[in-house]
Amino acid sequence: MKYAGRLAAAAIIGVFSLAACGTDDNSGDTGAPTTATSAAGSSLSGTINAAGSSAQANAMDEWKKGFQSANTGVSVNYNPAGSGAGVQSFIQGTVAFAGSDSALNDEKGEPAQADARCKTGKAINLPMVIGPVAVVYNVPGVDGLQLSPKTIGGIFNSKITKWDDPAIKADNPTATLPSTAIQAFHRSDESGTSDNFTKFLKATADWPYEPGKAWPAEAKGQGAKGSDQIAASVKSTEGAISYVELSFAENSSLQKAKVANGSGEFVELTPESAGKTVEAAQIAGTGNDLKLKIDYATSAAGAYPIVLVTYEITCEKGLSATDLPLVKSFLTYTASDAGQQSLTGLGYAPLPASLISKVRTAVEAIS
């Protein structure tokens, strides 16, 4: 320990020299080419802060990459702290736009508060990403499980407790089902995925509880925090079943069940089948506010009913002068073909053509 003082100094110097060398330039080692056309000397510069849903974190990462590569002077910071936190931050004025799994909620007075934030204009919900929700299960030996909404409701309400229950048999006449106990997992933290899933159950499966972001305690089952923990729990527990975003299901190679839509047809979850449900959705907002009303009991052919649409919530008019050009440019990119294409393979479904053109018109109108 004679050289204690000198050792300490060396350690401190070592750390600080590390501080001297670091870079933001990640373009050398990325395999995928950037899909945005590189604007000749894009003059945009500045920073946008945004916050919201973690379901679109992956989408945001791709969009940021494409947009920032084309506009090297801009930094987009997206904090995936949750839809509620995002909307709150937007209303408080600390972020330029919010990503939310559900549109501004009238019952809670959010549209009025958001309009107040926008001062001169109104706040609009712009659907940008479809995140389908898969029903994943872990039952060895059973492939291509089919489930009707009422069966799903019974399972998650802890009424159907074994895999060889008659209700499940009825949905799967040709499968051999074991008699293991069903372990139903749900999100222990509040989430937009739970919100959409319970809305689906309410509309189609006589779900006795109010739909919401928090899983109803009376429905029992086991909780896991975050989509990542849900995927891990299902993967490691035999007899498990749960609901999770498609990207997590694909990444953990979980088996997805086919869900029956309103016409009784069992539909497999693919980006196309999810897109069909959104196509059949009605626009509940006025003007450029594209808030959607999803029909979870849709009978459209080949439509997978459990979908989650993520909105970008921003001001049609009334953004600050610094935020305006950046937000408009960014949202133009995300709604463009290049932006939407960059999401393929990430577990999202592209917006149907009819909807995307309305979104583009709405973005154009931001001023």
Partner 1 sequence: MATSLPKTEGGPAVSRSAFRRSRGDGPFRFLSVGSGVILLAIMAAIAVFLVVKAIPALQANTSHFLTELTWNPNATKPVFGIGALAFGTVVSSFLALIISTPVAVGVALFISHYAPRRLASILGYVVDLLAAVPSVVYGLWGVTFLVPFMLGPSKFLNDYLAWIPLFGGDSVVGKSMLTASLVLAIMILPIIAAISREVFLQAPKLQEEAALALGATRWEMIRMAVLPFGRPGVITAALLGLGRAMGETIAVALIFPATFTISFRILSPNGNSIAANIANGFGEATPIGRGALIASGLVLFVITLVVNTAARLIIARRKEYARAAA
Partner 2 sequence: MTVQTGIQPLSFGRRAKDQAVRALVYLAFAIAIVPLVSVLWLVVKNGLKRFDLEFLTHSMRNIGARDAGGGAYHAIIGTLEQVLLASLIAVPIGLLTAVYLVEYGNGRRLSRFISFFVDIMTGVPSIVAGLFVLAFWILVLGMPFSGFAGALSLSILMMPVVVRSTEEMLRLVPNELREASYALGVPKWRTIVKVVLPTAFTGIVTGVMLAVARVAGETAPLLLTVFFTDSINEDPFNGPQMGLPLYVFGQSSLPQDIAIDRAWTGALTLILIVMLLNLVARLISWWRSPAKRG
| Residue 62, binding choice from partner 2, partner 1, none, Cβ under 5 to 8 Å by partner class | partner 2
Least distance from partner 2 to the Cβ atom of residue 180, Å: 26
The answer to whether the beta carbons of residues 317 and 124 sit under 8 Å apart is no
| Residue 141, binding choice from partner 2, partner 1, none, Cβ under 5 to 8 Å by partner class | none
Q: Among residues 88, 151, 227, 310, which is the contact residue for partner 1, using CB under 8 A? A: 88
336 makes contact with partner 2 (CB under 8 A): no
Separation CA 5–CA 292 (nearest Å): 66
Least distance from partner 1 to the Cβ atom of residue 82, Å: 2
Interacting stretch for partner 1, rule CB under 8 A, among 65-73, 102-110, 252-260, 308-316? Answer: 102-110
Least distance from partner 2 to the Cβ atom of residue 159, Å: 30
DSSP H or E run through 118: helix 110-118
Q: Among residues 212, 238, 263, 293, which is the contact residue for partner 1, using CB under 8 A? A: 212
Least distance from partner 1 to the Cβ atom of residue 240, Å: 12
| Residue 302, binding choice from partner 2, partner 1, none, Cβ under 5 to 8 Å by partner class | none
39-51 burial, b at 16+ Cβ within 10 Å, e below that, comes to eeeeeeeeebebb
Q: Among residues 128, 224, 231, 267, which is the contact residue for partner 2, using CB under 8 A? A: 231
| Residue 40, binding choice from partner 2, partner 1, none, Cβ under 5 to 8 Å by partner class | none
| Residue 108, binding choice from partner 2, partner 1, none, Cβ under 5 to 8 Å by partner class | partner 1
DSSP per-residue string spanning 144-178: S-EE-HHHHHHHHTTS--BTT-HHHHHH-TT----
Longest C-alpha distance within the chain, in Å?
A: 81
42 makes contact with partner 2 (CB under 8 A): no
Of 285, 296, 280, 360, the residue nearest 105 (C-alpha): 285
Tell how far CA 291 is from the center of its chain: 16
DSSP label of 127: E
How many other C-beta atoms are found inside a 10 Å radius of the C-beta of residue 105? 12
| Token representation of residue 89 | 């931050």
Positions in the binding site for partner 1 (CB under 8 A): 54, 81-85, 88, 105, 107-108, 188-192, 210, 212-214, 217, 222-223, 225-226, 229, 232, 236
